[in-house]
Amino acid sequence: MPTSRQPRPRRFFLFRLFLLVLIGFGVAFLFRQGMIPAVLNPLPALDLGQADPWFVDWRLSAVRRDPGLCRRILAQPQISAEPIPDNPPKDGCGWTNSVRMTAAGGAHAAFDKATCEAAAALALWLTHGVQPLAQDMLGQRVTSIQTFGSYACRNIIGNPFWKDIRSEHASANALDISGFTLANGRQISVAQHWKGAGVEGRFLRAVHSAACRYFHVVLGPEFNAAHHNHFHLDRGLFWRCT
């Protein structure tokens, strides 16, 4: 009489499942941090003109350590940017694979130092987030953005818990946006209009939300007092949209 097969122990199944989940998270983390070598990366190079790129976060991360890919991606008309020499980080401050940019998404956007990854994210946000929202909600295109800059050798401010940790600004991987100028000269300011019930406030809250698709951290006036007058956008390790 043939013997029946014994089922595998439940513990073995759970261990395999846990191992597969762990491997999945590990691979996702490597993609998110741009640590997959180009020769092994199956994702196509990012196209800044594509309105809704799939796996956009991983494809943005792919340019982090690849200057050649950066130069191919940061192309007109979506962005005007030129590579700048590396300043290897020392004491947590410096930059690599970065650019000087003057325009993105059809708007004047001047940053003297920004990582390729942050510059590409900004171009996507302005092109496919800010400009359509401005046209739909305000009847005008954005011609310029006002900024508080990108690179600054400093720690995180506004929260005592993080006060001893370098900001993403210290590696030129963060951008601060304080307002927008429309084609008719109209000014929309984060400090002045964020809390308003009018169309300006609704526009600012909409573009803030849209930035969360392209940046890891998007902070605004609702986060803390240090951000009452600007949006902080970065492509760092953490993930938050507030």
Tens of pLDDT, residues 5-48: 555 677 766 666 666 676 666 656 656 666 677 667 788 989 99
Q: Measured on CA atoms in the order 69, 72, 78, 83, is the torsion positive or negative?
A: positive
pLDDT, greater one: 14 or 114: 114
The pair of structure tokens assigned to 164 is 């001893």
At 158 the pLDDT is 76
Nearest by Cα to 150 from 191, 223, 192, 93: 93
At 17 the pLDDT is 66
Residue type, 45: A
Q: How far is CA 220 from CA 29, 40, 159, in A?
A: 26, 37, 14
CA 121, CA 177: separation in Å to the nearest integer? 13
Q: What is the mean pLDDT of residues 101-106?
A: 98
At 159 the pLDDT is 74
At 157 the pLDDT is 84
Tell me 102's DSSP state: E
Angle at 70 between CA 171 and CA 231, to 5 degrees: 45
At 229 the pLDDT is 97
In this structure, what are the phi and psi dihedrals at residue 151, rounded to the nearest 5 degrees? -80, 130
In this structure, what are the phi and psi dihedrals at residue 102, rounded to the nearest 5 degrees? -120, -25
At 162 the pLDDT is 76
Residue type, 58: W
Tens of pLDDT, residues 49-83: 998 889 999 999 999 989 999 999 999 999 999 99
Q: What is the mean pLDDT of residues 220-226?
A: 94
Residue 198, Cα to own-chain centre: how many angstroms?
Answer: 27
- H/E run at residue 14: helix 10-32
At 10 the pLDDT is 74
Residue at token pair 């005008």: 140
The pair of structure tokens assigned to 229 is 């007058």
At 22 the pLDDT is 66
Q: Are strands 87-90 and 107-115 parallel, antiparallel or unpaired?
A: unpaired
At 19 the pLDDT is 63
Does the reported pTM lie above 0.75? Answer: yes
- The count of other CB atoms within 10 Å of the CB of residue 213 is 17
Percent of the chain with pLDDT over 90: 74
Tens of pLDDT, residues 161-220: 777 899 999 999 999 999 999 999 999 999 999 999 999 999 999 999 999 999 999 999
At 90 the pLDDT is 94
Helical ranges in 86-185 per DSSP H? 116-125, 131-138
At 37 the pLDDT is 72
* Percent of residues in the chain assigned helix, strand, coil, to nearest 5: 35, 25, 40
- Burial of 136 from C-beta contacts in 10 A (0-12 / 13-18 / 19+): exposed
